[in-house]
């Protein structure tokens, strides 16, 4: 059964949602999943709490920071996470991770070549814009559209652990079916529908 769900192409999804502006409350977002031309009785609806920004209302991280826009804690966190990764400071980057994962993250950051590649990737970002946030239990998936030097746009999903106003980067969703399969398809689909 799961292979059927995985095979559903992004083009086969239809989206029903209300767009939001920065600072507005989290909305209920509904996605209708099914093959093109399939009647509504054979479709699956996925509803989640989140925010999706219409392309023409998305502001860059720089614009959001300068304007003092009201953002969700996870949105603020991801803006800071990108900026911190651009510094290449392993200590500061490691501190942004879930405390239970920090030891393994710090071990990975001991690899000098890997850290250099990570820093170069983040420094290659010319501009970033929030696309949306999907709440998933104690986690949020923050969708960001990065404009990369020499490579064009790149939609990245940042999985974060949220506890009140405290937010950490996490790898706890690795291996989770929804995160691994469906969130990447949803990210591509959401991006394609709101350009």
Is pLDDT above 60 for 80?
Answer: yes
The C-alpha angle with vertex 176 and arms to 172 and 177, in degrees rounded to 5, equals 165
Q: Characterize 130-148 residue by residue with b for buried, 16 or more Cβ atoms within 10 angstroms of its Cβ, and e for exposed.
A: bbbbbbbeebbbbbbbbee
pTM of the model as a whole: 0.79
Mean pLDDT of 90-111: 96
Structure-token pair, residue 139: 């986690």
Amino acid 43: pLDDT? 67
Per-domain boundaries in the chain: 51-193
DSSP assignment, residue 26? P
Amino acid 21: pLDDT? 44
Structure-token pair, residue 112: 């000098």
> May I ask the CATH class of domain 51-193?
alpha beta
Whole-number mean pLDDT of the chain?
Answer: 79
Amino acid 191: pLDDT? 61
Whole-number percent of the chain with pLDDT over 90: 44
Note the pLDDT tens digit of each residue in 157-175.
999 999 888 999 999 998 8
């Amino acid at each position: 059964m799961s292979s059927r769900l995985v095979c559903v192409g992004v083009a086969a999804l239809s989206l029903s949602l209300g767009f939001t502006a920065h600072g507005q409350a989290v909305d209920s977002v509904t996605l209708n999943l099914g093959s093109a031309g399939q009647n509504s009785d054979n479709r699956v609806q996925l509803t989640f709490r989140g925010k999706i920004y219409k392309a023409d209302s998305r502001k860059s991280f720089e614009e959001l920071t300068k304007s003092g826009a009201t953002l969700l804690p996870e949105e603020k966190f991801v803006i800071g996470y990108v900026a911190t990764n651009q510094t290449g400071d392993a200590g500061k980057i490691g501190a942004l991770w879930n405390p239970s994962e920090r030891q393994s993250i710090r071990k990975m950051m001991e690899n000098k070549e890997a850290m250099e590649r990570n820093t170069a990737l983040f420094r290659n970002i010319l501009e970033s814009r929030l696309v949306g946030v999907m709440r998933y239990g104690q986690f949020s998936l923050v969708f960001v559209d990065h404009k990369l030097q020499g490579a064009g746009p790149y939609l990245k999903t940042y999985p974060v652990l949220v506890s009140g106003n405290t937010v950490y980067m996490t790898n706890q969703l690795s291996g989770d079916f929804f995160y691994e399969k469906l969130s990447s398809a949803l990210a591509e689909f959401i991006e394609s529908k709101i350009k």
